Amino acid sequence: MHINIIGAGLAGCEAAMQIALRGIKVRLYEMKPVKKTPAHHSDMFGELVCSNSLKAMRVESAAGLLKEEMRRLNSFLIKCADKCRVPAGGALAVDRDIFASLVTKGIRSNPNIEVISKEITDIPDDAVTIIATGPLTSEPLANAIKSKFGSALSFFDAAAPIVTSDSIDMNFAFCASRYGKGDGDDYINCPLNKEEYKMFYNELVSAERAQLHDFDVNNPKVYEGCMPVEVMAQRGEGTLRFGPMKPVGLINPATGHRPWAVLQLRRENSLGTMYNMVGFQTNLKFSEQKRVFSMIPALHNADFVRYGVMHRNTFLDSPRVLNSDYSVKENSRLFFAGQITGVEGYMESASSGIVAGINACNILQNKPTVIFPKNTMIGALSSYISDASVKKFQPMGANFGILPKPENCPRNKKERGAVYSERSLKSLEKFIFENTEV
């Protein structure tokens, strides 16, 4: 018996090692060096194609909590990262070449892992399988996945920013649906008067944009139906007032009048802890998004848990496709892991590999799969990507906004992080103790 894994990136390598350490054979398919994506240059596994930072180390931070949870689950990649750390203040940053070398050596030297250099163009059905091919999945396999799951595969990541609900200043906002439709409070509306809108508009059209990769610029699918808000604004000062910031059908109860312009925030998750900036897909630099969007009065102190992005990205409409154990709803023997599931970030991808690897083993051995607690960061990520209430799904990284809010949570950000982290780690330890399959 064996388990197939397609892709030797972070998620695929973490899953492979989790399975191998449980004494089960792995066939790890990787198309490098036969074929590379436009973003990859090395023949090694676990290649870091963007930053060499794995984000914050502090366990009181969302990124630090995720890494600590992974440590307690015997993460292979965390061990590799710790061996090649470079100075980066409070972050865990690595020498990317040494990191990839350690990952490759660990995978190739494990007797339970057989590496097969081959491009997979269709979904295997000969064994339990984990697909971990990343955001630049090759076109033949991407087409096979799309054929299997209908229109549930995106070829671009055109995402609007997301803010935490408790950072929205409701003194400058009101709840209402346009023309009173729906439940009446489906949206949080952030009004601007004429002067506020003009100041916001002028900063938006002059803000600095992020540089796109060649494979983003040259891929027409990236821009299909997803106009960046800053590009739309350049068509004229009034354009946004007839588009994503139109005030028609809304009355501000504080004034009794229709606002000059309004940004609508839509609930992002079933907990109501995060809100999406409707229609604000953007390619501005992250620092510029924080600066410009904070000019909207209700968002003057907003906590952005995800900034908007505009780049090539292959990901599933996971809430319609996946369970929270990363298995496919229609086929318990098929799993996905990594950024193709909609988790965003290096360690987020690796953490999904841990969960998929553990559960692939359980399926192979006719054991029930395990669902990690929602108040752990790993469990919250898997819960988010499988949350059917998320209608317009976009990738998400680790943040406290996806965790259930604790009772009597402190308002101080650092103290709040400590409360979240302490609860999560206690929950994870209890979960590990009670589940021998983990």
- 412 and 386 in one domain? yes
Tens-place pLDDT, residues 273-297: 888 898 898 989 999 999 999 999 9
In a domain, 249, yes or no: yes
Cα separation values, 413 from 56, 211, 293, 418, 422, Å = 15, 31, 21, 9, 14
Q: Are residues 112 and 50 in the same domain?
A: yes
Chain centroid offset of residue 356 CA: 16
- Kindly indicate the confidence band of residue 220, based on its pLDDT and cuts at 50, 70 and 90: very low
For residue 107, being part of any structural domain is answered with yes
Mapped onto helix, strand or coil, the DSSP state of residue 254 is coil
234/343 same-domain check: no
Question: Residues 323, 352: contact at Cβ < 8 Å?
Answer: no
In a domain, 157, yes or no: no
Mean pLDDT in the chain? Answer: 90
Q: Which residue has the higher pLDDT, 157 or 425?
A: 425
| Each residue's pLDDT tens digit, 12-66 | 999 999 999 999 999 999 999 888 776 667 889 999 876 778 989 999 999 999 9
Burial level of 286, CB count in 10 A (0-12/13-18/19+)?
middle
- Asked whether residue 143 falls in the same domain as residue 179, the answer is no
Kindly state whether residues 213 and 328 are assigned to the same domain.
no
Q: In angstroms, rounded to a whole number, what is the distance separating the alpha carbons of residues 382 and 372?
A: 8
Statement to judge: residues 288 and 215 lie in one domain: yes
Rounded Cα–Cα distance for residues 199 and 219 (Å) = 34
How many alpha carbons fall within 13 Å on the CB side of residue 303?
A: 13
CA gap 153, 353 in Å, rounded: 20
Among 7-11, 141-145, 218-222, 302-306, whose mean pLDDT is lowest?
218-222
Amino acid at 331: N
pLDDT of residue 86: 82
Q: Is the same domain home to 112 and 11? A: yes
Which structural domain range is residue 198 located in?
Answer: 162-311
Yes or no: say if 330 and 336 are a contact pair by the CB < 8 Å rule: no
The number of distinct structural domains making up the chain is: 2
Q: What is the mean pLDDT of residues 388-399?
A: 88
Specify whether 129 is located in the same domain as 210: no
Return the CATH number at 426. Answer: 3.50.50.60
In whole angstroms, give the CA distance from residue 330 to residue 165: 34
- Binned at pLDDT 50, 70 and 90, residue 226 comes out as low
Identify the pLDDT of residue 82.
95
Which residue spans within 101-237 are E strands per DSSP? 113-117, 128-131, 153-159, 162-164, 174-175, 187-192
Residues 217/269, Cβ–Cβ less than 8 Å = no
Distance, CA of 96 to CA of 53 (rounded, Å): 9
Going from the C-alpha of 148 to that of each of 43, 122, 152, 337, 353, the distances in angstroms are: 30, 10, 9, 17, 22
Instruction: Examine the domain organization and report whether 405 and 288 are in the same domain.
Output: no
Give the per-residue pLDDT at 228. 86
pLDDT at residue 302 tops 80: yes
| Total residue count of the chain as it appears in this document | 438
